[in-house]
Structure 1
């Protein structure tokens, strides 16, 4: 979501004046053409209160035309400030923004979604959730998150060095990238799928990039220790590597391109849906197919036979079989994965976002957006 919000501001700033209110520390990472006002993230109530008051100051002084919330959490602020200015209000919503099972949030936040001038969602399942929350369908548009398309493949020597560093030379690499949350289901994968894969492919190794979230508002976590304990119990301790978070783009690209298949065993949790599944698009951009459960917005992020395989939610036998099949056949091919991912370039995301916000064309006076 942080990466998505960064690109949202960056793409809008290519044609419009953009100011952002964001958490402390964001200024060091912001897009160059964006003006940013920082607000301490913790405690959360204080962040929301200070974001509102700073928003009032910016709105009265700067007079934006569109006020956009980067998630459902800040949608009430965007709506209130739009009324103060007479501006248009909008929010970009993820599945959890709508489905979160919290009494106060459902009473105070969700009704605001119906009052916004525009609701942009990240997938067709999130679109359905918005309609179920009584948002006017005419106000809702789907704008899929984007991906950075690599200009070239990583050098063979870099991939070889990566494998040697982590003891992966000659191994079949199953890659998992993302936060270690309950929804991501990595512990269940280690318990119910990895043993069958290892039995058929003794050289198979699960490589995990990511860590448990520190600032998540709703996600339950699965610690590295709990996953390791499950691996020991399931007899696959020697078939798993934890690399932690990788922020270096080239190193992450090397991890993708060193792997044989991206595994994405997301669990179906009604109150905590997978809004889209950007990591599946990232994997495809590097030529890596994804095997995943068909749940939430993942159905929009993986194309059967082009970029991976969708199996029925919770069917770990089918998940294992499809992973083994890809290890044996190398289908989908890297080219078909990359062709699918090209539809989600950030430039296209920006075009769709600007179109659905109803902003003015570049030739006219630049539109002012508060984000």
Structure 2
């Protein structure tokens, strides 16, 4: 049945932009195209990196208004010419485009939402985008938290489905030479490495972790080192940043400057896997900020796929991503002392959760993600009066 489908996906979030949404949309294209004909509208920068099993229609990434207007024109043209059965928005940002284009050709309008694209408080977004999300035939949420936010935003519960993001499993083990070279390159020898992977934003909470939790860890384990992989986002919408300089300044003030190392983004997949596998624990101190929720936390699943447990606050979709005692530990939001204790628990028993982390990650394989999305696309669209 799926083979006869024509699916048009519209998204601004694709590599070379870096982040969980970008990885998810890349794999979304790849998995859908295994079972259907897929066209994609996305930023021209992604043309060389997009999966080869889609027909790609490039539009300018910047400025935002130009992306939106160009994507809208492309979507109308394709919907009239190609007559897709489903038009899908890769996030809430492109939902109005998907909805209007779908209405011109009788297609089903679907959006995959990530959290912030439902809760954002921008008045223009609330006026124009949220009504479009309420009119979509299907909303696919990335976590129970995002699904609840969608319901609170006025989206009918009948229209909301749940599909967690995926991960590449099993993560190929880094060779001994790769691990040794990476540790030598970043001067990690003899250190208890805690890793953080992701954008440097206020929500991620690294500055607060360095100030309030890392000194407690270092007091017991002076060789502990927080390796920060990531940089300030340039193209993320509604992202309040934490600069590398501000994190380093807090580290100096807290007396842990020698226990923090920022190395910027890692775009090479093999190097990123090596970075994960060089660590004892993945630190994910996301703050509980109203209307700025962490939709899921793909990095927690990626860490688990590399056998590395996550230590995080129990907030937003992270509760779906971390299995307590199996793929990591969760602390109450803002309890930095308890978070530090959990990190020390992992440091003191390195590798003890390796097998259970791998077992947890298997359920999130991209193949399972693709099948689950296809199941959601098959769901009948309820009446718009429901």
Q: Establish whether residue 79 from structure 1 lines up as the match of residue 96 from structure 2.
A: no
Per the alignment, in what secondary structure is the counterpart of residue 165 of structure 2? coil
String of CA shifts for 1:236-262, please: whole Å, max 9, x gaps.
111111111111111111111110110
Q: Name 1:18's counterpart in structure 2.
A: 38
Which residues in structure 2 correspond to 1:102-141 (within 5 Å)?
102-141=122-161
2:70 to 33, 50, 53: 50
Q: Establish whether residue 9 from structure 1 lines up as the match of residue 29 from structure 2.
A: yes
Task: State the structure with bigger RCO (CA 8 A, min sep 6), 1 or 2.
Answer: 1
String of CA shifts for 1:12-38, please: whole Å, max 9, x gaps.
000111001001211100111101111
Per the alignment, in what secondary structure is the counterpart of residue 118 of structure 2? helix
Q: Name 2:303's counterpart in structure 1.
A: 283
Aligned counterparts of 2:324 and 2:52: Cα–Cα separation in 1: 38
CA contact (8 A) 1:307 1:332 kept: no
Which residues in structure 2 correspond to 1:159-174 (within 5 Å)?
159-174=179-194
Q: Establish whether residue 247 from structure 1 lines up as the match of residue 267 from structure 2.
A: yes
Q: CA deviation at 1:331?
A: 6.5
Per the alignment, in what secondary structure is the counterpart of residue 242 of structure 2? coil
Aligned counterparts of 2:171 and 2:92: Cα–Cα separation in 1: 34
Q: Name 1:192's counterpart in structure 2.
A: 212
Q: CA deviation at 1:152?
A: 3.3
CA contact (8 A) 1:289 1:332 kept: no
Aligned counterparts of 2:195 and 2:130: Cα–Cα separation in 1: 36
Q: CA deviation at 1:156?
A: 1.8
Aligned counterparts of 1:33 and 1:24: Cα–Cα separation in 2: 17
Q: CA deviation at 1:157?
A: 2.4
Aligned counterparts of 2:350 and 2:265: Cα–Cα separation in 1: 27
Q: Name 1:307's counterpart in structure 2.
A: 327
Per the alignment, in what secondary structure is the counterpart of residue 67 of structure 1? strand
Aligned counterparts of 1:132 and 1:65: Cα–Cα separation in 2: 29
Instruction: Decide which moves more: 291-300 or 247-256.
Output: 247-256
String of CA shifts for 1:149-193, please: whole Å, max 9, x gaps.
135311122212211221111110010000000000000000000
Instruction: Decide which moves more: 278-287 or 327-336.
Output: 327-336
Q: Name 1:89's counterpart in structure 2.
A: 109
How many matched pairs?
360
Q: CA deviation at 1:321?
A: 0.4
Aligned counterparts of 1:182 and 1:100: Cα–Cα separation in 2: 15
Q: Name 1:206's counterpart in structure 2.
A: 226
CA contact (8 A) 1:306 1:332 kept: no
Aligned counterparts of 2:190 and 2:256: Cα–Cα separation in 1: 18
Aligned counterparts of 1:296 and 1:235: Cα–Cα separation in 2: 31
State the TM-score, normalizing by the size of structure 2.
Answer: 0.92
2:247 to 227, 238, 248: 227
Residue segments in structure 2 that go unaligned for 5+ positions in a row: 1-20, 381-386
Aligned counterparts of 1:157 and 1:81: Cα–Cα separation in 2: 52
State the TM-score, normalizing by the size of structure 1.
Answer: 0.95
CA contact (8 A) 1:159 1:258 kept: yes
